Structure 1
């Protein structure tokens, strides 16, 4: 059986490559409109939340130039969601490190999940469209038409050898996020100690929505390689963690199912 066609559009937004994928043969006008709406929304999110744009709402709030109540309504929405995430993770995730509101670790997943459901999901009602998704720097929000015989097969790569696949996750509708030190070094601060979180090279979490997946991937890095007590609080999550010794820990729906002493083992 031949593979169905796939349309892909890519843009650089939020400092990363964001690609939109539609599997099947959609109406081209509808496809182009959906892609433009997704990218426009994500660019607006970047203007509101970017920690690198002097005119972003978040930096203006941090400088005392803008009250949160006068900012984009999305700021209050994100702040409320971040407060819930901090409570749910027991403080492993926070958007208020050092007393400054910085939702960088939440906004990308939240905005991509939102854009996918708002602008790509309607394409799934078209005849001939099997699936649609967004890849934001390796973090994925994936959708499949209800009647389609389609599954996204998401590869989890070896952080020490990007040509090697450690596992493949089949996803129809859901999200996959990865965090850790492999790509950007020890860039995640443990809010409990104020020091960079180390020990977890790669933590991949698969759940229904990318905002949730991003939060718990961050929490996994902060918790460290020896503490998986948090997975019972993460809902119906599946994932895989690789520590700096090469040990792999894997779980399914909140229950650890595999430990390997090393990637090579």
Structure 2
């Protein structure tokens, strides 16, 4: 996360390993952090740890793992599981089947639950402290839910990694309040499965989506990878703010308010 804005603000960061990834909470303020801010940060982390307890596919005692083994029915699971299951069914319809939490015959909400969990925890615990701080944001493995107080001049400038050149940034996106999610094969290889074929999705090396909601940004970033670089019919119906797609072969396209524009590589002759 790259952020610039008011030089006089002090940034404090706390990081914990949850859901198998580093999750950091960033607080920007001109004043000393008070007890209420500290308690909000701890409460946010605590909720995410509890979400992991329920939804982790790596924990044998989670509700999701027990459901996969046939030991627990949806109706008997923790109530949040039913909420996520309903949201996943709606997402499958909205994306035209490009997203599915049941493609392999069991319920696995891995592609949805992270964004949903981080957004909900951030809105419940972090957004309310904007009265005391200038800005607060949470970064979960590169996916971010960001808030800025209306009175503040702070702007989060989010750097988008160039998947072809590790350590370099291909673009920056200014966000005051909103969410940024990135999916693709650049970091973890071809791990996203196309539910239509059951095979790993190919064609998009990196998809970054900006929206108001991290749950939706994460959903549509995953959808973009599954759709592939050539199919952008999902962009107008997603309702997302903006984003950038980088193909396996290096081609780049960006969109704003549903309109996509191909970015011509430097040195290309137009005729």
> Is this a same-fold pair by TM over 0.5?
yes
Gaps of 5+ in 2: 1-5
The change in CA–CA distance for 1:243 and 1:35 in structure 2 (over 3 A counts) is same
Report what 2:57 is aligned to.
Answer: 51
- 1:11 aligns with one of 12, 16, 40: 16
Q: CA deviation at 1:52?
A: 0.5
Q: Deviations over 1:180-230 (max 9, x none)?
A: 111111101101111110111100000111110111001000000111110
Equivalent residues in 2 for 1:81-120, closer than 5 Å:
81-120=87-126
- The Cα RMSD (Å) is 1.4
Q: Tell me the TM-score normalized by structure 1.
A: 0.95
- 1:72 aligns with one of 74, 78, 96: 78
Equivalent residues in 2 for 1:79-228, closer than 5 Å:
79-126=85-132, 129-228=133-232
Q: Secondary structure at the match of 1:168?
A: strand
- Tell me how many residue pairs correspond in the alignment: 262
- 1:38 aligns with one of 44, 47, 50: 44
Question: Aligned partners of 1:16 and 1:170: how far apart in 2?
Answer: 24
1:28 paired to 2:39:
no
Q: CA deviation at 1:31?
A: 1.9
Q: CA deviation at 1:26?
A: 5.2
Q: CA deviation at 1:69?
A: 1.2
Question: Aligned partners of 2:229 and 2:134: how far apart in 1?
Answer: 38
* Contact 1:247-1:263 at 8 Å conserved across structures: no
- Which structure 1 residue ranges, 4+ long, deviate > 3 Å from structure 2? 262-265
Q: Secondary structure at the match of 1:140?
A: strand
Q: Secondary structure at the match of 1:120?
A: helix
Question: Aligned partners of 1:201 and 1:237: how far apart in 2?
Answer: 20
Question: Aligned partners of 2:266 and 2:227: how far apart in 1?
Answer: 21
Question: Aligned partners of 2:41 and 2:267: how far apart in 1?
Answer: 41
Q: CA deviation at 1:32?
A: 1.4
Q: CA deviation at 1:27?
A: 3.6
Q: CA deviation at 1:122?
A: 1.3
* Contact 2:207-2:243 at 8 Å conserved across structures: yes
Q: Is the deviation greater in 4-13 or in 141-150?
A: 141-150
* Contact 1:248-1:263 at 8 Å conserved across structures: no
* Contact 2:217-2:240 at 8 Å conserved across structures: no
The change in CA–CA distance for 1:142 and 1:263 in structure 2 (over 3 A counts) is farther
